[in-house]
Structure 1
Amino acid sequence: MKIALIGYGKMGKAIEAIALERGHEIVLKIDESNIADFNQENIAKADVAIEFTGPHTAYENIRKSIELGVPLVSGSTGWLDQMPEIEQLCSDANGAFIYASNFSVGVNLFFELNKKLAALMHPHKEYNVSLEEIHHTQKRDAPSGTAITLAEGVMETYQAMTKWVNDVTPQPGELLIVSKRIDPDPGTHTIRYSSEIDDITITHSAHSRKGFALGAVVAAEFLKDKKGIFTMKEVLGL
């Protein structure tokens, strides 16, 4: 499979290493220094593109990739208020797109565990639920996309909670997400249910970027030659 990398920072390089290990070819690498190479002629060489950039550039990169006709896997966070526009664009263009806040297989299993625990805990009103996420200091957005996905998973059951808040005192109907930036942590997410009697917590701790990179490449393998909008649930058969 021929892959274009849109974003060639630490994640892009980790994805490259995994892709090469799995026998794929990197035919295009785009970063801030060669953005002019992100064009129809070059992207046409790729079977699929994988995009990991920043919250201020992701939307334009995703939009351009879809308009240029390349199946796209995106792991950028901080742009999701524009997701409906991207979904409509992909549908209109008969394109192929996968977005995930986290491509790690373990994290996607953790998402499902989080929903199951929320359903078990909801009847027990003596417990208060909160989330904490820890990342390295170069993480540009807060809370993390993974933390937001976890919060949304809790709120599917806790429907009286209508929004999440970040690093402020929560009001009734708000779910607290605490964000910490500590080097060199690649990502730790904890959901905590606290009462006067005890605490119940579940935690996912990433040891490196390798899990994220592997999941992104697996998603790209899944997306090749497909049309439509997919999630990691389809990729992993969850």
Structure 2
Amino acid sequence: MKIALIGYGKMGKAIEAIAQGRGHEIVHRIDINSSHLLEKEHLSQADVAIEFTTPETAYHNIEKCFDANVPVVCGTTGWLEKLPEVKAQCLEKHQAFLYASNFSIGVNIFFELNRRLAELMAPQKEYRVSMVEVHHTQKKDAPSGTAITLAEQILEKVPGKTGWVNEATNDPASLGIVSKREDPAPGTHTIHYSSAIDDITITHTAHSREGFAAGAVTAAEWLKGKKGIFTMKDVLSL
């Protein structure tokens, strides 16, 4: 498979190593200094594009992939106010798009555990739920996209919660998300249910970027040749 890497930072390089180890070819490595490769005549050489850039550039990069008729796997977070527009364009142009706030297989299983735990805890009014996420200091957005996904799952299941805030809170209608930035820290997410009687905690801790990168390559392999809008739930049959 021929892959265009849009974003060639630490994540892009981790994806490259895994993709090449699986026998794939990287036909383009696109960063701020090679943005001309986003033009149709260059992008169209790829079977799929994997996009890990910045919140400011993701939407434009995805548009370019659609215009070049190239399926795109996107892992950039912090731009989701434009996600409905991207989905509409994808369907209108008969393209393929797969977004995940986190491509790690372990994290996607953790999402399922979080959803189920929220269902079980919903009737238990004596518990207060909160979240802490820890990432490296180079991470540009807070809370993390993974934390937002976890929060949205909780808000869907726990009655009385109307939204999340990026701080600790005593407001019973808000889910507090505390974001910490420390090095080295590829990513830790902890959901905490607390009562006067006991506590219940679930945590996912990443040890390196390899899990994220491997999941992104798996998603690209799965997306090749498809049309439509997908998530890692489709890839993993969750």
- TM-score (normalised: structure 2): 0.98
Following superposition, the deviation at residue 42 of structure 1 comes to 1.0
Following superposition, the deviation at residue 170 of structure 1 comes to 4.8
Q: For 1:1-238, what aligned pairs fall within 5 Å after superposition?
A: 1-238=1-238
Residue 49 of structure 1 aligns to a residue in which SS? strand
Q: Distance in 2 between matches of 1:150 and 1:71?
A: 26
Following superposition, the deviation at residue 168 of structure 1 comes to 4.9
The aligned amino acid for 2:157 is T
Q: Distance in 2 between matches of 1:228 and 1:70?
A: 12
The aligned amino acid for 2:219 is A
- Give the count of matched residue pairs: 238
Residue 20 of structure 2 aligns to a residue in which SS? helix
Structure 1 stretch displaced more, 64-73 or 228-237: 64-73
Following superposition, the deviation at residue 56 of structure 1 comes to 1.3
- TM-score (normalised: structure 1): 0.98
Residue 125 of structure 1 aligns to a residue in which SS? coil
Residues 117-172 of structure 1, C-alpha deviations (whole Å, 9 max, x = no match): 11111111111000110000000000000000000111111142121110153533
Unaligned runs of 5+ in 2: none
Contact 2:132 2:190 in 1 (8 A): yes
Q: Distance in 2 between matches of 1:37 and 1:236?
A: 31
Contact 2:38 2:61 in 1 (8 A): no
Q: Distance in 2 between matches of 1:81 and 1:132?
A: 23
Following superposition, the deviation at residue 67 of structure 1 comes to 2.1
Residue 29 of structure 2 aligns to a residue in which SS? strand
Runs of 4+ in 1 over 6 A off after TM superposition: none
Unaligned runs of 5+ in 1: none
Q: Distance in 2 between matches of 1:30 and 1:234?
A: 27
Residue 33 of structure 2 aligns to a residue in which SS? coil
Contact 2:121 2:158 in 1 (8 A): no
Residue 33 of structure 1 aligns to a residue in which SS? helix
Structure 1 stretch displaced more, 59-68 or 175-184: 59-68
Residue 32 of structure 2 aligns to a residue in which SS? coil
Structure 1 stretch displaced more, 205-214 or 62-71: 62-71
Residue 34 of structure 1 aligns to a residue in which SS? helix
The aligned amino acid for 1:61 is N
Residue 204 of structure 2 aligns to a residue in which SS? strand
Following superposition, the deviation at residue 62 of structure 1 comes to 1.4
The aligned amino acid for 2:80 is L
Following superposition, the deviation at residue 217 of structure 1 comes to 0.4
